[in-house]
Each structure stands twice: as structure tokens, then as C-alpha cells.
Amino acid sequence: MAEDIQTKFKLQYFDSPSAGRLALMTMDNGFDYTRPNVFGEGALRSLAEALDELESQEDVKGLLLTGKQFIFAVGADTSEFQGIDGDRVREGIETGHELFSRITALPYPTLAAINGACMGGGLEIALHCDYRTISTGAAAIAFPEVFLSILPGWGGTQLTPRLIGGAKALEVIVTNALNNNKMLTPAQAVDLGLGDRLIESAGFLEDSRELLERIVAGEETITRDVELEAGLDEALEQTRAFVDNKVHGATQAPYEAIDCIEFAARGGDLAEGRKREIEAMTELLPANQAQAAIYAFDLTQRRIKKQPWKPDVKGRRIRKMAVIGSGLMGAQMGALFLQRYEVPLVMKDIDQGVLDKAREHIGGEVDKLVQKGRINPGKGEFLKGLVTYTLDYEPVAGADFVIEAVLERMDLKKAIFADLEEVLDDDAVLATNTSSLSVGEMASDLEHPERVVGFHFFNPIAVMPFLEIVRPESSSDEAIATAFEVAKKIKKSAVQCADTPAFIVNRMLTRFNGAGIEAIRRGNTFREVDDAYKAMGLPMGPFELFGFVGIKVAFHTAETLHEAFPDRFPLDDNFARIAELDVDGIYDWGSGGEPYQEILDLVEVEEGAEKWSAEEIQRRAKEAAADEARIMVADGAVVDARDIDTGMLLGAGFPFFLGGICKHLDQTGISQEVTGSELVTEQDAAFA
């Protein structure tokens, strides 16, 4: 990270009538809470200087460590990780251990006042203090390292088990990280034992200082009773099984973390435990998985938030919204728009029964907010009162942003847009949630086609963070800017793509999964294919995925792509026959997870065909993906290969340790073999 936002450790001193002279060490990079404190080389130098000064002060009786407003520290500066070699890793990890251990060795009580977000190395430096207070306003507390295919390397795997026990440490460091990087609330962190006191944010620093004074003066004692091995054997077995199911052995970080935690929980020597962390990090951080994860982290946490595709114009102000089609997807959209915008919302459908179900869903989501204490009952009733459920178009008049969520039929969508144009202002934005149809064609008969954009959600809407904003040639800058502003308001990560068949995620997934479908014709079983894909580290194989998204939906996308690109997207006869069945997936999970017999009865194997090995299936899938990624960038479907990776990470659940499909293909050399060069170029075209 640039030197001008280097985190510095600033020292102040104050005198306490009861405790004597105390030191306050504040971590501060000079910016507000939007630029959190991180630990890079400069920060560690600053800490060394602060500790030199502290150790020279003979009359200090206690230390209070805290962060700038709303931020404690969020760990190491990941921008220094890219391309790092083992020697630099070892030097950085050893330096962190040495410096943090000096805090523990101070000859007086030390207290970390966790006033805000506290993650990774930030939590580790806090663990090196004798005591910890946590503010009720702290945004998030976590060890995210395993999510990034590394492990807590500055004492986290050794000190956490000693503080809260091995079983809880496994949950905090491994399970939470692989559960989509789950964060702890302040109350949860204190309940687990990571903090000694939960203190209201108002007056937090003062109350923490007073606690330190009482500890130094001997007026208050904090004791802990920790059974390091309580429930450890069962927790180890469950955690290893969980990790196997999540990563299928494709990254070593969680397994290394488990081993380090077990060593500490079994009473291993702390100095030896620190050495184990250093050795593990020296191997893990330069490896492909961690480097891919750092790349993925940058895409999803930094690059996408800059919205480089958004036109430099102001979008339309949103004072009223409408959803046309109130079924499963439409109702989810309505609930999200209502909660985020709190403006009048119209839910339109042709079926009163569908509207009644939408009312039940949206009202139920509001009730959940009330039950969780996020809004009061009066606010809940106010929000419900903002929604109009109607069979007619007249109540839609005056809406600024309208999205259709009806069946994937071009004639139906065009008719709806024509009806909407009769009641809306000329510059109201019309959005479509189509997953594969041409947005430009949808708008072609309108008087104002420039108002139409694609706004493709992924199901389930409340969970999936990704949006594809589709820009046909006819769309205006204002309409696209509005779409990006809506995405930001509803807290979705949006990537722009051109109006090409199936857009980004569905197009790439269909090509990538094509090898699996072809393997069935060659005699491979559905389970063999899914296992081959999962062995690459994917959360599920293509046929498990079909059950998740719906076989008919997947086949409709395949049809769309076949019509557009028949040479690259052949339409498989087995797939077509299966899509005609009334089944909810390939596997009958209610009867042991075997494929439905009616599906097996339909499958035809090519005469004389030989099964593919798992390696052959993987190879063909990757080669097809590399070819399609090259074409998607070349034909302008996306601006940069990073857009494909972002979509696959956030919209298809590709694990961070693969970095998305393009990064993985580059790292494994497939892209160079297939296309002649790497897909992820040094220059990001989105910022060109």
C-alpha cells in the first residue's frame, strides 16, 4: 500500500490517580474509516519504533492499544502479497511475531480496546495483549485468512486455542472463514472468550481506560477457565470433514490451520507453534492458491466497488419503483427494493394468487427485520404500507425504475415494455431480469429504447451478491448510470457486459460444463462427472448445479447459446430429453442421492465410446473455458477478463483460491496453450 496511507502507531501518555502513568497506543493511517488500518512493512517499522520508546519508559504502568475511529485494524496489507516469494514471507512473518511478542513481554498489564473492525493481524495483535474490551459498535471481528488460502500467521493459530479452547478456535479460524468468510458480532466474540468485556460504543474508550486503571491498581481481576481439549476430538473430525466437502483437497491452507490449532490445543510449546506458523505461511502465501485468492479479493473488494464501467453522469433519482411479475424472483426483488430504498413500490402481476404470495413474502421479510430488532414495529408497518399490489398498469405510473421478472419469452417481455411505455415518463428506466435474451431486441419496438437496460439478478436474490448490468447499443448513459446506482443502493456488486447471448456467467458456465455433458454420452456416470469437477476445488459439479438452478432453466440457456453459436455450443440430445422430464434435478436427494431412474432410462451412450478419466474431463472443460474467455473479450462481451472472473466468483460461487476461471487457466498454463497468451493481462482494460 502506498506510503501516504501507512498505518502508524502513535503514543500518548496520561496520569491516573489510582494507577500511575499509562500509555495509549493508537493505530492510525490518517484517513477516515473508509480506509482501514492495515499492517504493511511501514506499519511494522512504526510499531518497532513505538515499542522502542515504550520499553525505554521506566515509569509506565499499563498500556491501552486501540485504533482510529470505527477501525481497530483489519490485518496485513494484502497489496504487498502479490508476487511475493518465500524469503520475503518468512521475513515478514518472523518480524510480526517478534514485534507482537514484545507487547506480551511488557512488564505491566496491556489491554486492547477493540473499538471497530478487527480482523486477521488486527485480531492477532489484540491477542498479544493481556486483556481485551470490544465495543458494541465494532463492525466485524474475524480471522479471514483461511478464506484467502493462508492461515493466521502472527500467532492466531496458537493464541486463540489457548484463550478459548481448540474446538472454538477451529470454528473461528477455519469453519467461519470457509462459510463465506463469516464475521463475528461483538457480542459473539465476547461470548466465545475473545473479549473480556463488551462495552457500549458511547464512552467505549473511556470505559476501557478505566478498566485498565482498575486492573493496574489491583482493584479488578479478570480470570479465565479454559479447557483446551474440551470437545476437541469431535471438533477435529467434524472440521476436517467440513473442509473436505468445501475444498476437496484443492488448497492446503485449512488443513494446515487445523494442524496448527490442534498442536496448540494439545499443549504444544508456544515457541514451536510459532515456528509452525512461520513454516506454513512461507509455503502457503507464494503458492498459486493464495496468489489467486489475493487477486480475487482485489476484484471483489476493491475493483468492483470503483464501478469502472459506470458512465460519468448522474442517474435518475429514484422516488418510486415497480416490479412487473411477482413470482419467486419478482417477490424477492420487491422485498430488497423496499428495504433498501423505502420508497413507494408497485408489485404488478396478472394473477391475484401470485400477488397474494408476493404480499406474504414481502411482509414476512419486513416482519423478520422487526423480530431481529433492526427496525421497530411502527417502521415495519410503514414499509408494508408503501407497497401496492395490483393487476393493472395504472398504479405503475410515476415510477422511476421498473424491472420485469416474467417468463423467458421475448414476445411477452416486449409486450410488457410496450404497455409500460404507455404509463411511464419518457426517461423512466426500464430494466429486464432476463438471463439470456437480447435486451436490445426487447427494446427495439419502443419509442424510447435508450431507457432499457439489463439488470440480471442471481437466485436466491437475498444471498447472491452479483448483478450483470447489460448494456445494449441503444442504452443511454443515464440509464446505465441509474442501473449502477441502484445496484450500489441495494448492496449488489455489478459488472457491465454487452448484449450478447447469456451475458457473462451463464455463457461461461454453459461452455465450461459442456465437457461434463459430453462425458455422459461417452458412458461416464453423473457422479463421476460431478466428482471430476469438484476435484478442481469447485463447490459442486454441473449436474448438482442443474438441480440448484433448475434443469429447464439451464437447458433454455443452452438453447439460446446454441442458436447464437452452434459450433461452440452443440445441443446435447440427452440434455434435451432430461429437460422434458418433471424432475427437480438429476439426483433424488430424498432417496439416497442417486440419479432419478427415469433420467437413467433416457440416457443414451454413443456406440463404441470410451469413458473419460477425471483428468480428461477436467482438461476438456478448462480448454473450452479458455477458448470462450478469449472470444468473450475479443468480441466485446466483456471489457476485460477480470470481468469474467468477478462474475464467476460472485455469481457462480467459484472459490477464491481459484481466482475465478481466467486466473486459474493462466496459473495452470491452459490459457497459454489454447489462446497463445494469458487471459488476465497486466493492464486492466476497464480502467484504460
Task: Mark whether 493 and 568 lie in a shared domain.
Answer: no
Largest alpha-carbon pair distance within the chain? Answer: 91
Output the pLDDT for position 5.
67
CATH at 548: 1.10.1040.50
pLDDT over 60 (residue 2): no
Record the cell numbers describing residue 213, joined without a space: 486503571
pLDDT over 50 (residue 1): no
The overall average pLDDT reported for the chain is 96
CA dist., res. 669 & res. 658, Å (int): 13
Task: Mark whether 223 and 349 lie in a shared domain.
Answer: no
665 belongs to a structural domain: no
Smallest CA-to-CA distance from 432 within 325, 340, 316 is with 325
Q: Which pTM does this prediction carry? A: 0.92
Q: What is the mean pLDDT of residues 492-518?
A: 97
Percent helix, strand, coil in the chain (nearest 5)? 50, 15, 35
CATH at 361: 3.40.50.720
445 belongs to a structural domain: yes
Torsion, CA 78, CA 79, CA 81, CA 82, rounded to 10: 140
| Residues 6+ away with beta carbon under 8 Å from 419 | 393
Among 454, 474, 498, residue at a domain's last position:
498
Q: What is the mean pLDDT of residues 405-421?
A: 96
Output the pLDDT for position 526.
98
Contact by Cβ (8 Å): 126, 163: no
Chain centroid offset of residue 552 CA: 28
pLDDT over 80 (residue 4): no
Task: Mark whether 359 and 412 lie in a shared domain.
Answer: yes
pLDDT over 90 (residue 688): no
Task: Mark whether 246 and 196 lie in a shared domain.
Answer: yes
74 belongs to a structural domain: yes
Record the cell numbers describing residue 172, joined without a space: 473461528
Record the cell numbers describing residue 320, joined without a space: 418510486
235-290 pLDDT tens trace: 999 999 999 999 999 999 999 999 999 999 999 999 999 999 999 999 999 999 99
CA dist., res. 381 & res. 366, Å (int): 8
Task: Mark whether 478 and 534 lie in a shared domain.
Answer: no
Judged by average pLDDT, the poorest of 33-37, 183-187, 246-250, 288-292 is 33-37
Share of the chain above pLDDT 70, in %: 99
- Residues paired with residue 198 on neighbouring β-strands, in sequence order: 134
669 belongs to a structural domain: no
Cα-atom radius of gyration of the chain, to the nearest Å?
Answer: 28
Task: Mark whether 402 and 510 lie in a shared domain.
Answer: no
Residue 300: count other Cβ atoms within 10 Å of its Cβ.
Answer: 19
Q: What is the mean pLDDT of residues 27-37?
A: 87
CATH at 122: 3.90.226.10
Residue 371: count other Cβ atoms within 10 Å of its Cβ.
Answer: 11
682 belongs to a structural domain: no
Q: What is the mean pLDDT of residues 168-180?
A: 96
Q: What is the mean pLDDT of residues 625-644?
A: 98
Catalytic residue list: 124, 145
| Residues 6+ away with beta carbon under 8 Å from 671 | 626, 629, 630, 662, 665, 677, 678, 679
Pairing of strands 321-324, 401-404: parallel
Split at pLDDT 50, 70, 90, the class of 625 is very high
Record the cell numbers describing residue 193, joined without a space: 472468550
Task: Mark whether 82 and 140 lie in a shared domain.
Answer: yes
Split at pLDDT 50, 70, 90, the class of 548 is confident
Q: What is the mean pLDDT of residues 448-455?
A: 98
State the total domains in the chain. 3
Q: Which residue in this structure is represented by grid cell 475493483?
A: 303
Q: What is the mean pLDDT of residues 642-671?
A: 96
Output the pLDDT for position 584.
87
Torsion, CA 325, CA 330, CA 335, CA 341, rounded to 10: -70
Task: Mark whether 487 and 548 lie in a shared domain.
Answer: no
Output the pLDDT for position 34.
78
What are the CA-CA distances from residue 267 to residues 229, 230, 279 (Å)?
A: 9, 12, 19
Contact by Cβ (8 Å): 638, 504: yes
End-to-end CA distance of the chain: 21
- Which long-range contacts (C-beta less than 8 Å, at least 24 apart) are formed by 543-548? 543/516, 543/585, 543/586, 543/587, 544/585, 544/586, 544/587, 545/509, 545/513, 546/585, 546/586, 547/584, 547/585, 547/586, 547/587, 547/589, 548/585
Task: Mark whether 276 and 171 lie in a shared domain.
Answer: yes
344 belongs to a structural domain: yes
Among 617, 636, 655, residue at a domain's last position:
636
461 belongs to a structural domain: yes
CA dist., res. 296 & res. 650, Å (int): 10
Q: Which residue in this structure is represented by grid cell 459488472?
A: 495
Task: Mark whether 517 and 473 lie in a shared domain.
Answer: no
Task: Mark whether 219 and 348 lie in a shared domain.
Answer: no
Q: What is the mean pLDDT of residues 533-541?
A: 94
pLDDT over 70 (residue 196): yes
Among 590, 610, 636, residue at a domain's last position:
636
CA dist., res. 387 & res. 34, Å (int): 34
Q: What is the mean pLDDT of residues 150-171?
A: 98
At position 102, the amino acid (one-letter code) is R
647 belongs to a structural domain: no
Task: Mark whether 374 and 282 lie in a shared domain.
Answer: no
Q: What is the mean pLDDT of residues 490-508?
A: 97
What is the domain range of residue 352? 321-498
